[in-house]
Structure 1
Amino acid sequence: MSVMHPDHLALLAELIRTPSPSGFEQPVQRVIRRTLEGVADEVRTDVLGNVIARLAGPQPDCPRVMLAGHCDEIGFMVRHIDDRGFVYFAPIGGVDVHLVPGQRLQAHTAEGPLLGVVGRKPIHLLEAKERETLAKFKDLFVDFGFADGEQARARLAIGDPLTFAVELERLQGDLVTARAFDDKMGAFIVTRVLQEVRRRGTAAVELFSVTTVQEEIGLRGAAASVYGVQPDIAIAVDVGFASDYPGVDAKELGEARLGGGPLLARGANINPQLFALLCETARQENIPVQIVAAPRATGTDANVMQLSRGGVATALVSVPLRYMHSPVEVLSLADIEATIALLSATLCRIRERGAFIPQ
């Protein structure tokens, strides 16, 4: 698989760098709109904040295909500012409280970003019981260095979002680490696939690339956008659990390794004809893929997309990820490139709406 072009890597890094906790996705959606203006035939934003980019099909009655990658990330929200200037906060989405003490956080305020740290008593001052007790979010606070509450309230507002203050960095080989690969990587992929389909000009479908919002708090953006788009076929692009590092049991999750290609889910949430098409495309194009079992509804946008209106032929394509929902998520750039290649090639093989009725 080809190495990621530097311009594409720069776009991925910009998406990671740009804050987008659930409910506060507008900054990253502005990057998506800027990227696709002049490429898509139409770029619009719905009332929830989903960005929907459309490529017109060659025929009025051609199949409608929707690709969805959610652009929101886990994060935090300012809940209380005390009179000494310390800031108390609540999680947005599924944040592991173990990971938070000692972290640098960035608040995203009306006046711009503001750096703070999550303070904690030194280990020397902790009693034995405190060392064994899991911290609670209500007891954690951010120290921005304010002199008092008045100064803090002049800079911060209740409800301001916060994110981990980390960006994309290179590890060994083609591995990279960052916060929020879940799922800005998916937003990046659906954006790149639309660019690639436009470049090829060979797809016989009407394509909608949707960067959805509020996935981390209940798949909310996907539920609204798929209802509005009314696709015949929908593919969610998300991260999946890698099982190639210590402490994770492949017997429970299945085999999923970084560098092994995208994960294709198989189960009740997945249309069998669409799954077969993805597998056959991967075989014909010599694209590595990994099959993972999904014995129940997936916790992804694919769940609500499948059940929209009278039902939608749905698939889930994921990139394996280590350390999900942490500030040090790790993935392979080759897996991203393989996913873009697979989806672009698959779209060129879709011809008829009725081809996805289970037989």
Structure 2
Amino acid sequence: MSNYVAPAFLTELLRAKSPSGAEAQAQAVYDQFVQPHADAYANDALGCRYATLNAKGAPTLMFAGHMDELGLIITYVNKDGYLYFDTIGGHDLSIISGRRVIIQTANGPVKGVTGKRAIHLMDDEDRKKVPKKHEIWIDIAAGSKAEALKRVAIGDVATYDHEFELIHGSVGTARAFDNKVGAYVVGEALVRLKKEKAKLGAKLVSVATTQEEIGVRGATTSAFAVDPHVALAVDVGHATDHPDCDNRRFGETKLGGGPIICRGPNINPKVYTRLVECAKKAKIPYQLEADPRPTGTDARAIQMARGGVACGLVSIPLRYMHTPSEVVDLEDVENCVKLFVEFAKSVKGGESFNW
């Protein structure tokens, strides 16, 4: 049993069910914990949340972390009351079967189980195959289509029923560290800056973005709206310290090693250098990763907004990404918050990151 105490803001975000396009529960948590500390607070048509400090400062600094997660969406109910679905975000189809799920409906949550034909009823060839989406269903113990449709509706979304739990020390598991930790980092950094009454040169806008898992959509529109000069995106990154992960192919990053600072064409070199300087100044452990193309994060959209944005990317090491039991060391999350706070305080009034 772990004695580590996880922050309430983070645990509430992890408890929230918020598949892309249905982020209401995560929005409510962000509103509760961040809005009281912001000088200004707003939302938009895609559901993003904008918290601002030092509105008269310049340049404009944007922090972005997405609050959506993977999910399922109900597409069809057969005559016997079994639900069929499509996936929201990038699922590994081999691990969907046999899971408990919670469906969000107009009348509250409905519990179910993902089912497929048992191994005993398969021949040798069937056992070798990964089931296709239409070969898996959700069983809510309904006796007919009519009964099922009284409880759920086409378009309702579902998430795995796997809740946050600490495994050992500060290492925990949850179904959606990706990317509730990122939304937490950008919100918590603003809260701490406000509480310490930090003298900022920049205007800071911390954005909890939506719909990242289906194409960085919230980051695309929010970066246009904020019109930042410089931005930091935060997401989860692959910890490559587990078996069957070749460092020659995937680099070397580990759980508990600190935030991962990215280098590559998606990253402004001045922002990268500043992040490393801030980490060293504050004695924050950090790791490096190299990515030769637009990253699979909000950073790729933010960098290309309007006339271009000086963009940085920090990732939190995570094992088993896009599974129901992702694993993160919460000390890495804490160090990421500290790094964002240091970066915000380092930006001087009138500073340019053009190069």
- TM-score bracket for the superposition, by shorter chain length: over 0.9
Aligned equivalents of 1:85, 1:53: Cα separation in 2: 44
Aligned equivalents of 1:153, 1:189: Cα separation in 2: 39
Which amino acid is the alignment partner of residue 308 of structure 2? G
Map residues 281-300 of structure 1 onto 2, 5 A cutoff: 281-300=278-297
How many residues in Structure 1 have an aligned counterpart in Structure 2?
Answer: 353
Aligned equivalents of 1:4, 1:260: Cα separation in 2: 21
1:238 matched to 2:235? The reply is yes
**Counterpart contact for 2:223–2:305, Cα < 8 Å:** yes
**Counterpart contact for 2:60–2:230, Cα < 8 Å:** yes
**Counterpart contact for 1:4–1:337, Cα < 8 Å:** no
**Counterpart contact for 1:4–1:333, Cα < 8 Å:** no
**Counterpart contact for 2:57–2:349, Cα < 8 Å:** no
Aligned equivalents of 1:223, 1:48: Cα separation in 2: 10
Aligned to 1:43, what secondary structure does the other structure show? strand
Which amino acid is the alignment partner of residue 52 of structure 1? Y
- Which of 314, 317, 324 aligns to 1:317? It is 314
- Which of 63, 76, 79 aligns to 2:72? It is 76
Aligned to 1:311, what secondary structure does the other structure show? coil
Question: Deviation per CA, 1:178-227, whole angstroms, max 9, x where unpaired?
Answer: 01111011001111001011112222221111000000101000000010
Query: Partner of 1:338 in structure 2?
Result: 335
Query: Partner of 2:244 in structure 1?
Result: 247
**Residue range with higher mean Cα deviation, 316-325 or 61-70:** 61-70
Q: Quote the offset at 1:22 in angstroms.
A: 0.5
Question: Deviation per CA, 1:30-54, whole angstroms, max 9, x where unpaired?
Answer: 1111212221011111111101111
Uncovered stretches (5+) of structure 2, i.e. residues with no partner: none
Query: Partner of 2:180 in structure 1?
Result: 184
Query: Partner of 2:203 in structure 1?
Result: 206
Aligned equivalents of 2:283, 2:334: Cα separation in 1: 13
Aligned to 1:102, what secondary structure does the other structure show? coil
Aligned equivalents of 1:62, 1:228: Cα separation in 2: 16
Aligned to 2:146, what secondary structure does the other structure show? helix
Aligned equivalents of 1:332, 1:233: Cα separation in 2: 28
Which amino acid is the alignment partner of residue 287 of structure 1? I
Which amino acid is the alignment partner of residue 35 of structure 1? F
Aligned to 2:213, what secondary structure does the other structure show? helix
Aligned equivalents of 1:168, 1:88: Cα separation in 2: 27
Q: TM-score, normalised to structure 2's length? A: 0.97
1:104 matched to 2:117? The reply is no
**Counterpart contact for 2:303–2:309, Cα < 8 Å:** yes
Q: Quote the offset at 1:4 in angstroms.
A: 11
**Counterpart contact for 1:22–1:213, Cα < 8 Å:** yes
- Percentage of identical aligned residues: 41
Q: Quote the offset at 1:120 in angstroms.
A: 2.2
Q: Quote the offset at 1:353 in angstroms.
A: 4.2
Aligned equivalents of 1:36, 1:295: Cα separation in 2: 35
Q: Quote the offset at 1:61 in angstroms.
A: 4.7
**Counterpart contact for 1:83–1:149, Cα < 8 Å:** yes
Q: TM-score, normalised to structure 1's length? A: 0.96
Map residues 1-359 of structure 1 onto 2, 5 A cutoff: 6=5, 9-57=7-55, 60-202=56-198, 203-358=200-355
Query: Cα RMSD between the aligned structures?
Result: 1.4
Aligned equivalents of 1:297, 1:123: Cα separation in 2: 41
Q: Quote the offset at 1:352 in angstroms.
A: 4.0
**Counterpart contact for 1:264–1:290, Cα < 8 Å:** yes
Uncovered stretches (5+) of structure 1, i.e. residues with no partner: none
Q: Which runs of 4+ in 1 moved over 3 A?
A: 3-6, 352-355
Aligned to 1:38, what secondary structure does the other structure show? helix
Aligned equivalents of 1:329, 1:213: Cα separation in 2: 20
**Counterpart contact for 2:116–2:135, Cα < 8 Å:** no
**Residue range with higher mean Cα deviation, 222-231 or 25-34:** 25-34
